[in-house]
DNA sequence: CGGCACGTTGAGTGGAATCAAGAAGTGTGG
DNA sequence: CCACACTTCTTGATTCCACTCAACGTGCCG
């Protein structure tokens, strides 16, 4: 019995692990959650899962790999809204708003489980605490977007980049995908530039400055932080919005 | 009977009117919603309802007047995340995340109803469709923040300002607080500048350019749009994310 | 070997921030 | 009624940073 419980815990999805930071889910609720993650599919790197202005779009739960959500402009410009790592939702808003307001693409090869509005509504009606958990996850995502907005609107490029890499580091550590000083980061400089509201050229120079100051290095898809305290200080990073604490519900 | 129904409809809160765009709420659900809006208070212009890093903060539903949510930086900078008008939530995220990630202040004198986490959880458990409606409202708010992010990250100041005023126009029209070409706008140029990621000086010049192009004028707290089509075109405004359609649930 | 994606560097320009100051409107008290 | 303070708005001059354009390096893969 104890052995089988351990086995079940091992099989827990990244999403369940993430939600565990907010609400201590009961077995029944966990089962509901896993039931949402049956229809898993694999997507190639670069594949577009969702396109802005699409109506009646699906949403996904990301199990493996990295994804990116972004909006495109008429002049060819692109703004990356956020990157998603295992345990994150992809395109959840397009289930509720009738038209997808953004695009989602796979950065690396990914595995993601499709969910539709009916399933979601059903799960919420059956397990109301799951609804709270979902509201929490959405709120946390929004808090990250808000922090991103502050960075682009009011932080200088160097601090902005620092903040971005520190946030990513924290998120990956929570998902057990980073060590204390480094993590794999499959984002190229075009993606990073579109996330940080800079040109790729200027981002490159910004990265160089971070390197020259002995704070961090991005090389061959790996971020190495040489001075965690220094980088965090430069970023004025306040981790409160990530809400990483023991469950409160 | 018919008369009393009309009277009830007249008393409907701005929030109920807004949610009606998404879900056709039943009488029982409407009653739950109104029950959330009992503890109403008045706040002076400039009063701070919520401060960032505050723990266990309350949330509010705005009934009358304008509010602003923002984050402050160490260097004295401030980024306005969004402005709220009647029917909008204030600080809803601080109910779910354990620490408020942003501040909220009254722009004009306002009336707002306090809600706490227990009430919310209770209402959600009793009326699950209200949970969907809430998720919709939060998603719509997030979509607005995302659009804001795109504006600051990738739009030129002129288009950014145009987009801002068009979005506000649409929101106010939905709340029946605007005519086809004008609306009252109690935001001064410091607030606007902090919202648009510009200095007040540069915002002033941007407003002048909008005026000189015959697109719109902001004077004495009133926005007058001289050329709706032109302003919308300059802004590359796509209204999809506001999700203003007949109810789907 | 050539083609392509990605990264790096240099030189020049334009536009937003900064610094400085004044005008216009609003409220208060003598 | 006017003097005064205060907020908000407006304009000019200057500086600096991020964008643009252009080019080259580097590694990978067919």
CB contact under 8 A, A142 and B143: no
Q: Which CATH number fits domain A2-142: 2.60.120.1090, 2.60.40.10, 2.60.120.10, 3.90.1150.220?
A: 2.60.120.10
* Closest chain B C-alpha to A43 CA, distance in angstroms: 25
Going by pLDDT thresholds of 50, 70 and 90, the confidence category of residue A7 is very low
Q: pLDDT value at position B11?
A: 67
Q: In Å, what is the separation between the CA of B69 and the C1' of C27?
A: 28
Nearest residue of B to residue A148, measured between CA atoms: B149
Q: Is B163 on the interface with A (CB under 8 A)?
A: no
Higher local confidence (pLDDT), A142 or A244: A142
Q: Which of B79, B147, B149 sits opposite A154 (nearest CB)?
A: B79
Q: Which CATH architecture has domain B2-144?
A: Sandwich (2.60)
Higher pLDDT, A10 or B143: B143
C-beta atoms of A153 and B152 within 8 A: yes
* Cα of A100 to nearest chain B Cα, Å: 8
- Which residues in chain B touch residue A245, judged by CB atoms under 8 angstroms apart? 98
Mean pLDDT of B39-57: 91
Distance A200 CA to C1 C1' (A): 30
Q: Looking at strand D, which nucleotides approach a protein CB closer than 7 A?
A: 7-12, 17-22
Residue A63 confidence (pLDDT): 96
| C-beta atoms of B238 and A125 within 8 A | no
Q: Name beta bridge partners: A223.
A: A183, A218
- Is residue B235 over pLDDT 80? yes
**DSSP letter assigned to residue A38:** -
Distance C4 C1' – B97 CA (angstroms): 46
Phi-psi region of B3 (alpha: psi -120 to 50; beta: other; left: phi over 0): alpha
Any chain A CB within 8 A of the CB of B102? yes
Q: Give the nearest chain A residue to B93 (CA atoms).
A: A139
pLDDT for the residue numbered A6? 41
| Predicted pLDDT at B209 | 95
**Are A249 and A29 spatial neighbours (Cβ–Cβ below 8 Å)?**
no
Mean local confidence (pLDDT), B134-140: 91
Q: What is the pLDDT of residues B75-103, one digit of tens each?
A: 888 999 999 999 999 999 998 888 999 99
What residues does each domain of chain B span?
2-144, 156-242
- Given a cut of 70, is residue A1 above it in pLDDT? no
Q: Which residues of A touch B71 (CB under 8 A)?
A: 146-147, 150
pLDDT of A248 over the 80 cut? no
Name the β-bridge partners of B64: B111
Question: What pLDDT is stored for residue A216 in this prediction?
Answer: 96
Number of other CB atoms surrounding residue A3 within 10 Å: 7
Residues 108-147 of A with CB under 8 A from B: 121, 124-125, 128, 131-132, 134-136, 138-143, 145-147
Provide the mean pLDDT of chain A.
Answer: 90
Sorting pLDDT into bands at 50, 70 and 90, what band is A9?
very low
Q: Which nucleotides of C are covered by protein (CB under 7 A)?
A: 5-10, 15-20, 26
Flag whether residue A51 sits within 8 Å of chain B, measured between CB atoms.
no
Q: Spell out which residues of chain A touch residue B147, defining contact as CB-CB under 8 Å.
A: 71, 101
List residues with CB under 7 Å of strand C: A 188-190, 200-201, 204-205, 207-208, 219; B 156-157, 197-199, 201-202, 220
pLDDT digits (tens, 9 = 90+) for A95-139: 888 899 999 999 999 999 999 888 888 888 888 788 888 889 999
Nearest nucleotide by C1' position to the A196 CA atom: D18
What is the C-alpha separation between B100 and B54, in angstroms, rounded? 5
Closest-CA residue of chain B to A74? B236
Using one digit for the tens of pLDDT, what is the confidence trace for B1-23? 443 444 444 468 999 999 988 88
Q: Which nucleotide is nearest to A201 if distance is taken from CA to C1'?
A: C8
Q: Which residue of A lies nearest to B153 if distances are taken between CA atoms?
A: A197
Distances (CA, A) of B195 to A197, B55, B203: 16, 25, 10
H helix or E strand, kind and range, residue A130: helix A128-154
pLDDT band at B68 (very low <50, low <70, confident <90, very high): very high
Which CATH architecture does the domain made up of B156-242 adopt? Answer: Orthogonal Bundle (1.10)
Q: Give the residue from B49, B108, B103 showing the smallest Cα distance to B73.
A: B103
Q: What is the reported pLDDT for B207?
A: 96
pLDDT tens for residues A37-88? 999 999 999 999 999 999 988 899 999 999 999 999 988 889 999 999 999 9
Whether A167 has a pLDDT exceeding 70, the answer reads yes
Q: Do B78 and B72 form a contact (C-beta atoms < 8 A)?
A: yes
SS3 readout for B124-151: HHHCHHHHHHHHHHHHHHHHHHHHHHHH
CATH topology (fold) of A155-242? Arc Repressor Mutant, subunit A (1.10.10)
Phi, psi (5° rounding) for residue A3? Answer: -60, -45
pLDDT in tens, B102-115: 999 999 999 999 99
pLDDT at residue A2 in the model: 45
């Amino acid at each position: 019995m104890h052995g089988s419980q351990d086995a079940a815990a091992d099989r827990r999805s990244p999403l369940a692990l993430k939600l565990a930071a907010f609400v201590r889910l009961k077995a029944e609720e966990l089962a509901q959650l896993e039931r949402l993650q049956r229809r898993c599919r694999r997507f190639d790197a670069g594949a577009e899962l969702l396109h802005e202005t699409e109506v009646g779009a699906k949403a996904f739960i990301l199990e493996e790999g990295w994804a990116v959500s972004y909006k495109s402009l008429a002049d060819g410009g692109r703004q990356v809204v956020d990157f998603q790592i295992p345990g994150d939702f992809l395109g959840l808003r397009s289930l509720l708003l009738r038209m997808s307001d953004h695009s989602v693409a796979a950065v690396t090869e990914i595995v993601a489980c499709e969910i539709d509005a009916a399933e979601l509504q059903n799960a919420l009606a059956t397990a109301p605490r799951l609804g709270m958990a979902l509201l929490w996850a959405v709120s946390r995502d929004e808090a990250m977007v808000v922090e991103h907005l502050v960075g682009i609107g009011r932080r200088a490029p160097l601090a902005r980049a620092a903040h971005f890499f520190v946030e990513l580091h924290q998120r990956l550590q929570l998902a057990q995908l980073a060590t204390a000083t480094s993590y794999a980061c499959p984002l190229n400089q075009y993606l990073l530039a579109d996330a940080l509201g800079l040109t790729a050229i200027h981002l490159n120079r910004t990265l160089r400055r971070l390197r020259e100051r002995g704070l961090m290095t991005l090389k061959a898809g790996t971020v190495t932080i040489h001075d965690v305290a220094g980088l965090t200080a430069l970023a004025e990073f306040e981790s409160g919005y990530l809400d990483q604490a023991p469950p409160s519900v």
